[in-house]
Amino acid sequence: MKLLAIDTATEACSAALAINGEIHELYEFAANRHSKLILPMVDRLMSEAGLKPNDLDALAFGCGPGSFTGIRIATGVIQGIAYALDLPVVPVSNLASLAQGFFDNNSEDIAFVAADARMDEIYWGVYQRNSKGFAELISQETVTPPEQIEFPELTGVGIGTGWLKHSEMLLMRLEQRIIRYENHNLPRASAIAKLGLKGFKQGHTVLAEHALPVYLRDKVAKKENERN
């Protein structure tokens, strides 16, 4: 099984190649250089593995939420590859990939994921590590002001860039449910590859034309009078 995964939804840019369960990744903090970096990353991974495009079995990508431009870049790249090679695609939530990356490197089993959505809002979701080690959503993913988050009565760790700006309000809302929090977490293609393999095995694939971004927010931008 050979699966290629990419992510460009945040300031980070990464690509990963899963070969029979072993994952190789290239990762770079990219600012606004995703469109220049992502295809060379893919080419390098394939070359180093000695693979040709036709050797791939499936694709996965971070479908959002995240930067609108970044998500569109990943969507365009993955659709292009999928069309060219007639490959199935597994769309993977970027919030799920944040949780998976955390679970793969920590012992706690609950992650309160908050990614900065700007406009004084966060992308929010609560994930639990299941019995097989995968991040499993236990509350609806949403975009919301931090004071309006909804959450289960569980104790865990806060992760994601939303904790950088909104930690005070999130801690106030969650009270004693937070053991600690991290605010530097960004999605990685290695976690997307891991979740992509799981999705492929479970049949959660789509055709290229249905590999679409997930924005969560209905409006890309609010009018000035709506923000006040």
> Tens of pLDDT along 153-209?
999 999 999 999 999 999 999 999 999 999 999 999 999 999 999 999 999 999 999
% pLDDT > 90, the chain? 93
Answer whether residue 219 shows pLDDT above 50: no
Average pLDDT, integer, range 6-29:
97
Answer whether residue 151 shows pLDDT above 90: yes
Whether 11 is in a domain gets the answer yes
Instruction: Note whether 131 and 201 are same-domain residues.
Output: no
pLDDT of residue 31: 82
How buried is 122 (Cβ within 10 angstroms: 0-12 exposed, 13-18 middle, 19+ buried)?
A: buried
Instruction: Provide the Cα torsion 150, 146, 103, 200; round to 10°.
Output: 70
Would you call 110 helix, strand, or coil by DSSP? strand
Going by pLDDT thresholds of 50, 70 and 90, the confidence category of residue 227 is very low
Instruction: Note whether 150 and 135 are same-domain residues.
Output: yes
Answer whether residue 56 shows pLDDT above 90: yes
Instruction: Note whether 82 and 121 are same-domain residues.
Output: no
Instruction: Note whether 105 and 138 are same-domain residues.
Output: yes
Distance, CA of 41 to CA of 98 (rounded, Å): 21
pLDDT, tens only, 19-48: 998 999 999 998 889 999 999 999 999 999
User: In terms of residue numbers, what domain contains 56?
Assistant: 2-93+187-210
Instruction: Note whether 60 and 18 are same-domain residues.
Output: yes
pLDDT of residue 48: 98
Instruction: Note whether 85 and 145 are same-domain residues.
Output: no
> Which CATH number goes with the domain that contains 9?
3.30.420.40
Q: Which two tokens stand for residue 45?
A: 């991974």
Instruction: Note whether 39 and 150 are same-domain residues.
Output: no
pLDDT of residue 217: 80
**Does the N-terminal peptide bond of residue 65 adopt cis geometry, omega within 30 degrees of 0?**
yes
pLDDT, tens only, 91-118: 999 999 999 999 999 999 999 999 999 9
Whether 224 is in a domain gets the answer no
Whether 60 is in a domain gets the answer yes
Going by pLDDT thresholds of 50, 70 and 90, the confidence category of residue 214 is very high
Instruction: Note whether 6 and 87 are same-domain residues.
Output: yes
Distance, CA of 162 to CA of 30 (rounded, Å): 19
Whether 218 is in a domain gets the answer no
Phi, psi torsion values for 96, nearest 5 degrees:
-65, -40
Cα separation values, 78 from 70, 73, 115, Å: 12, 9, 23
Four-residue CA torsion sign, 157, 162, 168, 173 = negative
Cα separation values, 44 from 17, 49, 179, Å: 10, 8, 40
Is-contact 10 117, C-beta < 8 A? no
Number of domains in the chain: 2
Instruction: Note whether 100 and 169 are same-domain residues.
Output: yes
Instruction: Note whether 60 and 130 are same-domain residues.
Output: no
pLDDT of residue 106: 98
Instruction: Note whether 6 and 88 are same-domain residues.
Output: yes
Instruction: Note whether 17 and 44 are same-domain residues.
Output: yes
Average pLDDT score over the chain = 94
